[in-house]
Amino acid sequence: MYKKFLPSEFVNNVFDISPERLLEKGIRGIITDLDNTLVEWDRPEATPKLVNWLKSMKDAGIQVTIVSNNSELRVKSFADPLGIPFIYKARKPMGKAFRKALNTMDVKKEEVVVIGDQLLTDVVGGNRINLHTILVLPVAKSDGFFTKFNRLVERRIFKALKRRGYVTWEEEV
């Protein structure tokens, strides 16, 4: 039961994910969360460092699609200036938005990674349709209202995963 909450891998942040490493694994597409994955949940635009990371992915031929549970206004105002396709009100962990992103990018499941900061939405959603999932530490220490509840549940799940020997990294979400 707990394995659906287990990410394929864990990194500290998106900047630990290089296009070279993804290409070596045959990855051609990234489905990423927005808030507390790419930037703080209350930051309206991308940082210069994130803009460079996104450009490195594009230059390597790796497509990026933002899949967020947030509103159209929030996601569109962030993604449009960057020219990144997006899906808002995704209802993660339901699979419909993930499948839509796959179809939009026209890539196979084996060629995609899902990057996110939450077990209950990003990791479970990606795992439900057998995608490679990468969990990152949240960019900000604060969260929006609904995410605060998810974090409480996630801490309990992490403790159970650790007790069972599934979690091998030192940092905990």
Residue 39 falls inside a structural domain: yes
pLDDT at residue 172, as a whole number: 47
Q: Could you give the number of structural domains in the chain?
A: 1
> 46: which 2 tokens?
């991308």
pLDDT at residue 171, as a whole number: 52
Residue 86 falls inside a structural domain: yes
Residue 168 falls inside a structural domain: no
Binned at pLDDT 50, 70 and 90, residue 111 comes out as very high
Average pLDDT estimate for 15-37: 97
Binned at pLDDT 50, 70 and 90, residue 156 comes out as confident
Average pLDDT estimate for 112-133: 96
Residue 22 falls inside a structural domain: yes
Residue 72 falls inside a structural domain: yes
Residue 19 falls inside a structural domain: yes
Alpha carbon distance 51, 116 (integer Å): 17
Residue 81 falls inside a structural domain: yes
Average pLDDT estimate for 149-161: 78
The whole domain housing 55 covers 2-163
Give the least confident one: 14-28, 114-128, 152-166. Answer: 152-166
